[in-house]
Amino acid sequence: MNNKGFTLIEIIILIVIAGILLPAIIVPFVTSVKGSGKAEMVNTAMFLAQRKMEEFMKFQYTNAALNPTAGFVSFSTGDPNYPGEYEIVYVNSNLSTPSTDVGYKRIIVRVRDPENTSYEIYSVVTNFP
């Protein structure tokens, strides 16, 4: 016989091998595609935090915008998926928190991405020339 083609056994073996190998190939691919958006979320969150920090840094130490806060204060980043908050407290030269003003204020700006990962930027402003 000079028949060309595949036998039923060969086709069944091919289906079984494909059923074993395809998930091993597809699962890492799908995982990497899901994680590819994380870099964009990080960049967006850091941009929004930096933008808020720059707003604070334009003020002098004695400006009311830099008055110490009682804990974190929420602010709008302009994107509801990226909530933001900031805190301003007095600190000393060792960055511990004294009860009175000793000439330093620490500003923390925190922004959360849609996956609820938090990104923070710190800065210290002084009352010295």
pLDDT of amino acid 34? 73
126 Cβ partners below 8 Å, 6+ apart? 61, 103, 104, 105
Task: Write out pLDDT tens, residues 24-40.
Answer: 888 888 877 776 778 88
Pairing of strands 73-75, 84-90: antiparallel
Token digits of residue 108 = 């923390």
Nearest CA-CA partner of 103 in 94, 113, 93, 111: 93
pLDDT of amino acid 1? 60
Write down the pTM of the prediction.
0.71
DSSP structural state of residue 94: T
Task: Write out pLDDT tens, residues 57-97.
Answer: 999 999 999 999 999 999 999 999 999 999 999 999 888 88
